[in-house]
Amino acid sequence: MLNKNQTLGEFIIKNQTSFKYSSGELSSLINSIRLAAKVVNHEVNKAGLVDIIGFTGNENIQSEKQQKLDVYANEKFISTLINRNIVCGIASEEEENFITINSSDRNNQNKYVVLIDPLDGSSNIDVNVSVGTIFSIYRRKTKIGTEVSIDDFLQKGRNQVAAGYIIYGTSTMLVYTTGSGVNGFTLNPAIGTFYHSNSSIKIPNDGNIYSINEGNYLQFPEFVKKYIKFCQEEKDDRPYTSRYIGSLVSDFHRNMIKGGIFLYPQTSKNPNGKLRLLYECNPIAFICEQAGGVATNGKENILDIIPTELHMRMPFYCGSKKMVQQLKKFI
């Protein structure tokens, strides 16, 4: 039941025992993410006042221009997780290789790895539009106490133990799932505490919002072009409404609350799509499914895809069940 006086910290403790592998480690891990989120939120909020907007002049491993806030958020999340000694490995969209933690410490008994998109929608920072952070948590495959390997990170999304996002929007929210429903917490900025604001979030089974970067229309596969025309047709409850922010977190969050579909297809410029399977598609797909929706690359359920590379990309279609089913009819 929803109790808006309950803090995220209290919620985590209360629900810890209902988690089947509970040892407190996952709870501490989510607590660390909560802490880093508050620090990043503080910086995002004063973006126009401090020297944090704009480019660093560097590119990340995917040849994308890094924003100062990309780098800041990356450092904050990684240093928080390292300092609290709560995971055995981290992979980030902004880092070429995964990070091994305490490889020399035989007492490192941590069993979780975290994958993270520290700042999602970074092109929106400079113009005061919502951005986010996405995280994904897996149990390691290799033996506890040994060094992590790439196999610990290249797991199918279905293996996720928890996933969530922070949305730095009109209010700041942390939304996450540990595989038994999706809960949302809103930050009260005056006291720096997240409170339980959305309990067992469910995405409507059908909706009337479609979200896609239509500027790429000419490059889309035929079935996507047909689906867009379907959305625009004047028939039954259509035309649908088109809404596209350009931050996956924000676009998905809106669609989850209101009902809708998000599409990022392959294009001639990005033949495998643009979104990253490990840092973006998998965590959002897990949350979407936990909320009653579905996510696919057009052929397979996102959560069943076995990753082959850390930074691989994937076409991504996700949202209300009926809308994704309708899209699939055009394939």
Binding status of residue 221 toward ligand AHG by CB under 6 A: no
Residue (101 or 261) nearer to ligand AHG, CB: 261
Binding status of residue 247 toward ligand AHG by CB under 6 A: yes
Binding status of residue 120 toward Mn ion by CB under 5 A: yes
Residue (119 or 173) nearer to Mn ion, CB: 119
Binding status of residue 117 toward Mn ion by CB under 5 A: yes
For ligand AHG (CB under 6 A), the number of binding residues is 11
Binding status of residue 255 toward ligand AHG by CB under 6 A: no
Binding mask 76-115 for ligand AHG (x = CB under 6 A): -----------------x----------------------
In the complex, the smallest distance separating the C-beta of residue 60 from ligand AHG, rounded to whole angstroms, is 8
Residue (27 or 133) nearer to Mn ion, CB: 133
* Cα 250 from Cα 211, distance rounded (Å): 11
* Cα 193 from Cα 201, distance rounded (Å): 20
Binding status of residue 122 toward ligand AHG by CB under 6 A: yes
In the complex, the smallest distance separating the C-beta of residue 55 from Mn ion, rounded to whole angstroms, is 14
Binding status of residue 246 toward ligand AHG by CB under 6 A: yes
Residue 3 burial (CB count, 10 A): 12
Coil, strand, or helix at residue 326?
helix
In the complex, the smallest distance separating the C-beta of residue 273 from ligand AHG, rounded to whole angstroms, is 10
Does the bond joining 271 to the residue before it have cis omega, within 30 degrees of 0? no
Binding status of residue 120 toward ligand AHG by CB under 6 A: yes
In the complex, the smallest distance separating the C-beta of residue 280 from ligand AHG, rounded to whole angstroms, is 7
Binding status of residue 121 toward ligand AHG by CB under 6 A: yes
Closest CA relative to residue 152, chosen from 134, 137, 133: 137
Binding status of residue 186 toward ligand AHG by CB under 6 A: no
The option from ligand AHG, Mn ion, none interacting with 213 (CB < 5 to 8 A, set by class) reads: ligand AHG
CB 211 within 8 A of CB 317: no
Output the DSSP codes for 97-163. Answer: SPEE-STT-TT----EEEEEEEEETGGGGGGT--EEEEEEEEE-SSPTTS---GGGTS--GGG-SEE
Binding status of residue 213 toward ligand AHG by CB under 6 A: yes
In the complex, the smallest distance separating the C-beta of residue 268 from ligand AHG, rounded to whole angstroms, is 13
Coil, strand, or helix at residue 169?
coil
Closest CA relative to residue 127, chosen from 40, 54, 51: 54
* Cα 15 from Cα 279, distance rounded (Å): 25
CA dihedral 71, 77, 79, 85 (to 10 degrees): -160
Binding status of residue 178 toward ligand AHG by CB under 6 A: no
CB 40 within 8 A of CB 76: yes
Using CB under 6 A, which of 38, 274, 313, 321 touches ligand AHG?
A: 274
Coil, strand, or helix at residue 60?
coil
Which residues contact Mn ion (rule: CB under 5 A)? 93, 117, 119-120
